Structure 1
Amino acid sequence: MITGDLKTKVDRVWNTFWTGGISNPLEVIEQMTYLLFLRRLDELHTAQEKRAAFMKRPIEDPKFTPEQDHLRWSRFRELDPDTMYLTVSDAVFPFLREYGRQVGGEDSTYSAHMKDARFTIPNAGLLATVVDLVDQLPMADRDTNGDLYEYLLSKLASSGVNGQFRTPRHIIDLMVRMTAPTPADEICDPACGTAGFLVAASEFIREEHPQALVDAQQREHFHRSMFHGYDFDSTMLRIGSMNMLLHGVESPDIRYRDSLSEGAAGDSEKYTLILANPPFTGSLDYDSTAADLQRVVKTKKTELLFMALFLRLLKPGGRAAVIVPDGVLFGSTKAHKEIRRLLVEEHLLEAVVKLPSGVFKPYAGVSTAVLFFTKTGTGGTEDVWFYDVRADGFSLDDKRNPVGENDLSDVLQRWQNRAEEVGLARTEQSFLVPKQEIVDNSYDLSLNRYKEIEVEEVEHRDPLEIIAELEQLDDEIRAGLAELKEMLQ
């Protein structure tokens, strides 16, 4: 999440595009993303140059060859507007389209998404202004570019017909840390958008398992077969691919796919970890939905179909952390009850983490929770852990300003020490609920079904005593008014 001065600078870039004649929000995002990407490539190359000079050895994995030096951000931004415009349109963008082949090969998904990259800024003046503004954006933090993407996408006028909206970075980080990806995982987000979950997972592995990038076999897995993301928006795929590449994943599997469609059935039992915030509120025609998903849960609701999809995609023993709207937890339709029954009876449902209703503002006010489960096919659910997140470090209004109250570190700490949760009262912020109680409640997974509210006993005065006092006050007021009336006569 970006705030304050950085948000103001991004808004200035956005407004400059609009006043310059580019009014399609996705086109603004796409063109700005290309410029951010080019700037970041130059910064990475500059860091490599400094490291090579210090070590007195050639640059490893250069972003630009000596012949391409004039294509670097730091070079073309110094040109006059007309020359800059010709350089970017005639040389920099062709380089950008070819860059994926240099990094990931002819068959890389990045190469596939970038081959159609178009430069659509209409004139030299607008390009010069936007380049100057983009150059002022701070990008030293590895996550800043991802935050910029998220904020840019938040400026779209609507969430789209299938209910997509962006997941706050701190919620993503919590889900990643609670699932603790390992170097052996194959991680998938079937509705990846800008690849925020995949980026966070890659960063976690870098921090917690640095050996994954030392061993040659594990390094190959990290760069080419660990991360998988699907979406049916080509712009999101380009942004997601660049986001992953900028975070050091050379050839992620980011590809075009309608995950719920009949033609997307080839990945059954392929992944060991799913991290996702699937579209809510959307509905599909039965004819366009995979038949095997409809056999699991007969519905048009995308949030329920995605739950069935997750179970299909996971290998036995694979785990998932997914955000769902509250309706999934307590919905009374046959489809709602069946998906909950599957999680509780046929797999291992581990936790329900209730999120504050304002966590997705200003984009959406939907109330949500995070479900944590493991695919077993043989059951295994015993006690389900519930946690009531009341604060996430930001105000729960449209402004989402930072505040002192934040339960997220407590969520992680309690999750990692779940053995100590046994016996906690239902009045606590977290507690365990036995499987049988959930079964007896028609598999209802809403926190309020099991949480007990501690009512403090308050002693009230006798109503007759209060009435007597009121009558006395009334007599005193009437006496006072009579005295005042006599003084005025």
Structure 2
Amino acid sequence: KIDPKKPKMAIYTCFLQHVINSLKPGGKAAVVVPTGFITAKSSIEGRILQHIVTQHIVYGCISMPSNVFATTGTNVSVLFLHKPQQGETGYEKVTLIDASKMGEEYKEGNNQKRRLLPHEIDKIVTTFANQKAVDDFSVAVTYEELIEKGCFLSAGQYFDVKSEYIDITAEEFENRIKNYNETLSEQFQKSHKLEDAIMEQLKSLRLS
């Protein structure tokens, strides 16, 4: 009998566990999973995600553009897995790439699809192979950093938040404030005129 209290497993999680358990020492695998898996917090997906991070099995993840696979419109990511040889520590860092904004759209029949261009594929391959960090595209993080972030494998979770500052003089600052005040005053005057016009229109209304 099926236990209704037992958590349900998505088919892909069964396949993913099979791949992990089938890896021989030194073996590698690439598995396509729904992108939601790489930020799973709980249930079976969350436990698998935690396992492949804490055991240093995953060494890379690429978030792909939507509609890039012919048979599904689901957003997907590619996990890269590795089982270290006995006595080896495996990879020191995990390469995370956000390729979700790449590709060009095209139509096949009634289906809207997306494909990666040759130079985009080259960029992904080169970045991954060299574990390069590229602004708003890729990062190479340690397993400790992944664990601190809840074992999430989404590259965007690790991008630096940048703030741009512009140096201006005190005189420039005063001029800007003056211009803002003048603009606001003009807008307020126009608003008052509009209010007066509306009130006049309301006064002229009669029930016929």
TM-score category (smaller protein): 0.5 to 0.7
How far apart, CA to CA, are the structure 1 residues paired with 2:93 and 2:99?
19
- 1:355 deviates by 0.7
Give percent identity, aligned residues only.
Answer: 23
Check the 8 A contact 1:330/1:444 in 2, yes or no: yes
Partner SS for 1:341: helix
How far apart, CA to CA, are the structure 2 residues paired with 1:455 and 1:303?
40
Partner SS for 2:20: helix
Partner of 2:31: 322
The amino acid of 2:146's aligned partner reads I
Query: Structure with the greater relative contact order (CA < 8 A, sep ≥ 6): 1 or 2?
Result: 2
| Alignment equivalent of 1:365, drawn from 73, 79, 87 | 73
Check the 8 A contact 1:304/1:328 in 2, yes or no: no
- 1:414 deviates by 1.9
CA offsets 1:62-109 (integer angstroms, 9 cap, x no match): xxxxxxxxxxxxxxxxxxxxxxxxxxxxxxxxxxxxxxxxxxxxxxxx
Partner of 2:182: 465
Partner of 2:206: none
1:375 to 2:92 alignment: no
Partner SS for 2:60: strand
How far apart, CA to CA, are the structure 1 residues paired with 2:162 and 2:118?
21
How far apart, CA to CA, are the structure 1 residues paired with 2:43 and 2:147?
15
Partner of 2:47: 338
Check the 8 A contact 2:67/2:112 in 1, yes or no: no
Q: Unpaired segments of 5 or more residues in structure 1? A: 1-284, 287-297, 479-489
How far apart, CA to CA, are the structure 1 residues paired with 2:147 and 2:12?
22
Q: How large is the Cα RMSD of the aligned pairs? A: 3.7
Check the 8 A contact 2:30/2:81 in 1, yes or no: yes
CA pair 365-465 structure 1, distance change in 2 beyond 3 A: farther
CA pair 328-435 structure 1, distance change in 2 beyond 3 A: same
How far apart, CA to CA, are the structure 1 residues paired with 2:50 and 2:129?
26
Partner of 1:308: 17
Partner of 2:199: none
TM-score of the aligned structures, taking structure 1 as reference length? 0.32
Partner of 2:205: none
1:410 to 2:123 alignment: yes
- 1:445 deviates by 1.5
1:434 to 2:142 alignment: yes
1:446 to 2:157 alignment: no
The structure where strand makes up a greater share of residues is 2
Check the 8 A contact 1:356/1:389 in 2, yes or no: yes
CA offsets 1:207-232 (integer angstroms, 9 cap, x no match): xxxxxxxxxxxxxxxxxxxxxxxxxx
How far apart, CA to CA, are the structure 1 residues paired with 2:116 and 2:22?
38
| Alignment equivalent of 1:387, drawn from 94, 97, 108 | 97
Partner SS for 2:27: strand
The structure where helix makes up a greater share of residues is 1
How far apart, CA to CA, are the structure 2 residues paired with 1:377 and 1:299?
33
CA pair 415-301 structure 1, distance change in 2 beyond 3 A: same
- 1:476 deviates by 9.1
Partner SS for 2:24: strand
How far apart, CA to CA, are the structure 2 residues paired with 1:389 and 1:340?
20
How far apart, CA to CA, are the structure 2 residues paired with 1:340 and 1:401?
28
Check the 8 A contact 2:65/2:103 in 1, yes or no: no
CA offsets 1:341-379 (integer angstroms, 9 cap, x no match): 321232432111111123236x43312111111123765
| Alignment equivalent of 2:61, drawn from 352, 377, 399 | 352
- 1:410 deviates by 0.4
Check the 8 A contact 2:60/2:81 in 1, yes or no: yes
Please give the residue correspondences for 1:206-355 in structure 2 after superposition, counting only pairs within 5 Å.
300-355=9-64
How far apart, CA to CA, are the structure 1 residues paired with 2:92 and 2:42?
25
- 1:412 deviates by 0.9
Check the 8 A contact 1:320/1:373 in 2, yes or no: yes
Partner of 1:199: none
The amino acid of 2:98's aligned partner reads D
Partner SS for 1:414: helix
